[in-house]
Copies of this chain bind each other. A is one copy, B any other.
């Protein structure tokens, strides 16, 4: 997606350790007009898959899921990272290792909102190690729901997540795939 690649080049900031910060437009401050183009791109990719629900994980995925859900005209569901006292006990739960936060955490959804009738599109802002997406796919498996696809804004192509998910058989649509980036700010996108 040209628009997203251009925005990453313009407003992304690179820090040592292959860290790309896009918090001016994607995951802290959010440019809703860009997010809407992203939601539309996911709709174009999966509009014939009978999607019944958009699934993401708090917090960065929610705005993206919100836009996608509008195009598909289905609800969105976001998995929670910590167990709220108010969420109840009827939960599907799995464990995810966070690369960013360097720790494991529980990811949960209420059993009420995902079932074997659902055809799910998983969306998120980044795909790197793939751990968060694999966790969301595991929640779908526990619920008996079918994962029809995975929509990603930015895939770090030099990490193993994308390859691993595709080898597992998932349809992954990444709108910008970074092949390499250097500490002095150069980004090469996979064409």
List residues of chain A with CB under 8 Å of any chain B CB.
Answer: 15, 19, 21, 23-25, 28-33, 35-36, 58-59, 62-63, 66-67, 69-70, 73, 75-78, 80, 82, 84-88, 100-102, 109-110, 112-113
Contacts and interface: CB of A to CB of B under 8 A. Distances in A.
Contacts of A100: 84-86
Contacts of A63: 62-63, 66, 76
B86 A21 contact: yes
Contacts of A32: 66, 69-70, 75-76
24 contacts: A19-B86, A21-B88, A23-B86, A23-B110, A23-B113, A28-B78, A28-B80, A28-B87, A28-B109, A28-B113, A29-B77, A29-B112, A30-B66, A30-B69, A32-B69, A33-B73, A36-B70, A59-B59, A59-B78, A63-B66, A63-B76, A66-B66, A85-B100, A85-B102
